[in-house]
Structure 1
C-alpha cells in the first residue's frame, strides 16, 4: 500500500506522465512501423525475354543464331590444342554477363561465361568434345533484361 500512497501523493502532472508514457511509447512504435512499411521502394519486375533461333542449330559443324529485340547472338564451337572445346558467344551488342549449362549424361552444371579480352565476345571452355545432340541452356544479361534460350544442338 505504500507504493499506491506514494503515487497519489505525487503532483497531478507526474501521475499523468507515469500513466501516459508507456502508452505513447507503444503508439510511437506502431506508427514508426507503418511509416517504414510505406516507405519501401517498389520492386521493378525483371524482364525475361526468350531468344528465338534463326534457322537450324548445327553447333558442332557450323553455328547457331538467335535474336530478340535487336540483339543477335551467334554461338559456335572451336577446338583447342589440348583437346578442350570452346563455345564462343558473339553478341551484336555488349552484354553484362551470361551463364550456360550443357546437359549431357543426365547432369548439367551451369557455368559463367568469360569475356574474351579486348572484345565483346564471351566463351565457355570445357574438356572433351561436344557430344551431339546436346541440350544447351543459355542466359545472358543486357541493360537489366535477361535473355534466355534452350536449344537442342545437333
Structure 2
C-alpha cells in the first residue's frame, strides 16, 4: 500500500524566519566542547533549501554564516563559505531528495552535512590551528540522524487543514 500523499499549504515566510532564528539561538547555547552537538543552523538551512529553494537561498546562507563566524570569533567567512556550499548542494539535489522517504533522505543529506563541518575543519588546519580531532566531524552525522525529526517538525504547520472536513480525504 502506498503511503498517503499530503497537499501542503504554502509556507509562511515568518515561520521560515522563526525557525532559522530558533536554530541560530540553539547554536548560541554554551554546549562547551561536547562532541556530537549538531549545527542546528546548517540542519534547518538545509531543510529550507530543499523544501523552499526559491525563498531560502545562498544569500541567506552567507548571512547566517557570517553571524556564526562573529559568534564563534573564528576566521571571518569560514562558516559563510560552508553554509553557502551547503545551500548550493541542497538546491542542486532538492528535486531528487523530495522523492525519497525520510530514512533515505537522511542518507542523501549526510554528505552535505558532513561537508559543511569539513569546510571549517580544513580551513582552520590550513590557517595553522591545532588538529581539533576527528570527533569534530561527528556533528554532521548526528545532524543527519536528526533529519527525519527536523523534517516532521518543520512541516507540521503546512500539513494542517484550513478547514477540517470528515468527508474530504486530503
The TM-score bracket by the shorter chain reads under 0.3
Structure showing greater relative contact order (alpha-carbon pairs closer than 8 Å, 6 or more residues apart): 2
Greater fraction of residues in helix: 2
| TM-score (ref. length: structure 1) | 0.22
| TM-score (ref. length: structure 2) | 0.21
